[in-house]
């Protein structure tokens, strides 16, 4: 894959309310606007194996969609015909420089959300949520990630509740469901 052009050629898969692909696709950037159609996506929370700290990332300031927003470890869209697990691994490598994650598993298979407008963009996604572990330090792609840090799960909760923090809508929304399930409930 030519990762230098990946964002320009990436396609989103449009789905029904139940997450079933309709057979239609659209270019990723052109498909995100004030009337974004429901499409397939994923979120992944990467924990550091040594201490279960969570990797959070700040989206690069020059990104066209949600620039500068702090969020969970990695988010993205599967390509047409690509499994969600393969998409998570592809984007973790491309965005975070983490070519191998262990224990990847889906923790919220039916998560779906629609954001209020943010700089003219509405996210409208059927977005299964995953958890995984990493043994290595990330080497983020500056085209995708502006900043990153490992934080304990309780500190993540504080960040999400800080009204002055620039945190993604989906990270706040997912937290309410994640805090009561493994592996997060024990952190």
Q: Is 75 a catalytic residue?
A: yes
pLDDT in tens, 68-114: 999 999 999 999 999 999 999 999 999 999 999 999 999 999 999 99
Q: Is the pLDDT of residue 3 over 50?
A: no
Residue 32 annotated as binding site:
yes
Residue 82 annotated as binding site:
no
Q: Is 125 a catalytic residue?
A: yes
Residue 105 annotated as binding site:
no
> What does the domain layout of the chain look like in residue ranges?
6-177
Place of tokens 């992944």: 44
Catalytic residue (choose from 6, 44, 85, 125): 125
Residue 125 annotated as binding site:
yes
Q: Is the pLDDT of residue 1 over 80?
A: no
pLDDT in tens, 140-154: 999 999 999 999 999
**Residue 61 per-residue DSSP state:** T
Q: Is 6-177 a CATH 3.90.79.10 domain?
A: yes
Dist. CA 65–CA 71, nearest whole Å? 13
* Mean pLDDT score, 22-46: 92
Q: Is the pLDDT of residue 123 over 50?
A: yes
């Amino acid at each position: 894959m030519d990762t230098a052009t990946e964002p320009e050629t990436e396609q989103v898969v449009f789905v029904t309310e139940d997450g079933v692909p309709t057979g239609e696709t659209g270019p990723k950037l052109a498909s995100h606007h004030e009337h974004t159609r429901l499409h397939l996506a994923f979120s992944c929370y990467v924990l550091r194996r040594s201490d279960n700290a969570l990797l959070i990332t700040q989206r690069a300031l020059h990104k066209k969609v949600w620039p500068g927003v702090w969020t969970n470890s990695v988010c993205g869209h599967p390509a047409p015909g690509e499994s969600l697990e393969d998409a998570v691994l592809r984007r973790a490598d491309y965005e975070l420089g983490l070519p191998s994650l262990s224990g990847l598993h889906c923790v919220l298979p039916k998560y779906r959300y629609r954001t209020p407008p943010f700089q003219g963009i509405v996210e409208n996604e059927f977005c299964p949520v995953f958890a995984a572990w990493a043994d290595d330090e990330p080497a983020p792609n500056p085209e995708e990630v502006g900043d990153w840090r490992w934080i304990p799960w309780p500190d993540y909760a504080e960040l999400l509740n800080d009204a002055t923090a620039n945190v993604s809508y989906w990270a706040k929304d997912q937290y309410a469901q994640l805090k009561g399930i493994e592996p997060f409930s024990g952190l």
